[in-house]
Amino acid sequence: MSRARKRGFGLKAYGFFVYFFLYFPLLIVLVFSFSPTKTIVGISGITLKWYQELFRDQNLLAAFVHTLLIGAGAVGIAIVLGMAGAFFVSRVTFPGKSVFRTLVLLPYILPGILMGISILVVVKALNIPLSPFTVLLGHVSFTVPVVMFQIMSRIARMGPNYQAAAMDLGATPVQTFWYVTLPMIRTALIGAALLAFTVSFDEIVISYFLTGTWMTLPVYIYGMMRYGLSPKVYAISAIILVLSLALIMLMSRYTGRSAEVYRVRLRKD
């Protein structure tokens, strides 16, 4: 019995080591954002200096806003296209469906450098200047698969063909969508939107290829990394860390199986 305990302990110890490995770097970033010096040895106290510098950096603040705008835009488009695409692939039969699905999924799973370059060469060939529009285009390439596949997963779990039942009972396609389909995929849609937004918020590679002078936050930070490491970077990193955590907490309420349980508890009408 004690041998099993020991073996179990070994694995658990390794597990906790991995968790430590995962979180130590994040902790470092947090610590350094409050430290006046760049070395950990001489922790000479806590300072908010870097955060203050952060908020005085107009370019950085602008980049942050740009990122939010791109995120909102890319997610908005993804919701429309992704929902339509999800129902199309789930409910309609046509030849070559698996190829089609793979093609849609491709921008999300291929290395960003491939998608970034591919869209860049097309944009250049069409003489479109690099602008917020091209960045948006790049983001739409991967937000759509995210939303579409999340919705498809929800549709697969949906069960009976409620749409057919609604139409049979007298609902026009628009009414069916509004009163039956949308409420049923609402949580999956929100979760997918949050997921897509998170991916878009952090995206660097594709954005870098398609950006002109109008930068998103990751592009700006990347610039900071290449041309001088001011501790401002830690401050903005810490903020992004906290934001990401908040987003993922929010997301967990809307995606996955746990979300269903949560929703049922809320229902009261």
Partner 1 sequence: MGERISSPRALLRGVPITIWMLCLVAVPLGYTLLISFFQVEGLQIAAKLTIKNYRQFFTDPMYSGILLKSILLSLAIAVLGILTGYPLAYMLSFRVRRGKQALFMLSIIPLWVSYLVRIIAWRTILGNKGVINSALTAIGLIQEPLSFLLYNRFAIAVTLTYICIPFVFIPVYTALEKIPRNIMEASSDLGAGEFRTFLNVVLPLSLPGLVTGFIFAFIIALGDYIIPQQLGGTQGIMFGNLIWSQFGFAFNWPFGAALSFILLAISVTILGLTSRFGSTEGGFLSE
Partner 2 sequence: MSEENAIELRGVKKAWGDVIAVQAFDIGIRKGEFFSLLGPSGCGKTTTLRMIAGLEEPTGGQILLEGHDVSRVPAYRRNVHTVFQDYALFPHMTVRKNIWFPLKMRGVSLADARPRIDRVLRLVNMEGFERRLPQQLSGGQRQRIALARSLVDEPAALLLDEPLGALDFKLRGAMQKVLKDIQRDVGITFVYVTHDQTEALTMSDRIAVMKSGRVHQIGTPDEIYSRPATAFVASFIGEMNFLHGHRLPAEGEVPRAEVGGHRLRASRSTLTGTPAAGEEILVCIRTERVQVNSHRGTEHELQGTVRRIVYRGTDYEVTCDLAGQEVRAVVSAVDWNAVLHTGSPARLGFNSADITLFPGAEEKEIVQYSTEAV
Minimal distance, residue 171 CB to partner 2, in Å: 5
Of 189 and 240, nearer to partner 2 (C-beta) is 189
Q: What is the DSSP letter of 159?
A: -
Closest contact distance (angstroms) between CB of 234 and partner 1 is: 7
Question: Exactly one of 61, 68, 117, 184 binds partner 2 (CB under 8 A); which one?
Answer: 184
φ, ψ of residue 166 to 5 degrees: the values are: -65, -45
Distance CA 108, CA 102 (A): 10
φ/ψ (deg, to 5) at 110: -75, 155
Q: Which of 221, 232, 235, 254 binds partner 1 (CB under 8 A)?
A: 221
Q: Is 164 in the site for partner 1 (CB under 8 A)?
A: no
110 binds partner 1 (CB under 8 A): yes
Scanning residues 125 to 154, which ones bind partner 1 (CB under 8 A)?
Answer: 125, 137, 140-141, 144-146, 148-150, 153
Residues in 235-264 that interact with partner 2 by CB under 8 A: 264
Whole-angstrom distance, CA of residue 90 vs CA of residue 94: 11
- Residue 107 near residue 145, CB atoms below 8 Å: yes
The correct pick among 80, 156, 169, 243 for binding partner 2 (CB under 8 A) is 169
Q: Does 22 bind partner 1 (CB under 8 A)?
A: yes
Those residues whose C-beta lies under 8 Å from the C-beta of residue 259, and which sit 6 or more positions away, are 187, 191, 252, 253
Site membership for partner 1, residue 163 (CB under 8 A): no
Q: For partner 2, give the closer residue by CB, 10 or 173.
A: 173
Indicate which of partner 2, partner 1, none lies near residue 222 (CB less than 5 to 8 Å, by partner kind): partner 1
Choose the contact partner of 96 out of partner 2, partner 1, none; CB within 5 to 8 A by kind.
none
What is the rounded CA–CA span in Å between residue 237 and residue 41?
21
- Contact partner at residue 175 from partner 2, partner 1, none, CB < 5 to 8 Å by partner kind: partner 2
H helical segments located in the chain: 2-34, 49-56, 58-91, 97-109, 112-125, 132-156, 162-168, 173-175, 182-202, 205-210, 217-226, 232-252, 256-266
Residues that bind partner 2 (CB under 8 A): 159-162, 164-173, 175-176, 179-180, 183-184, 264, 267, 269
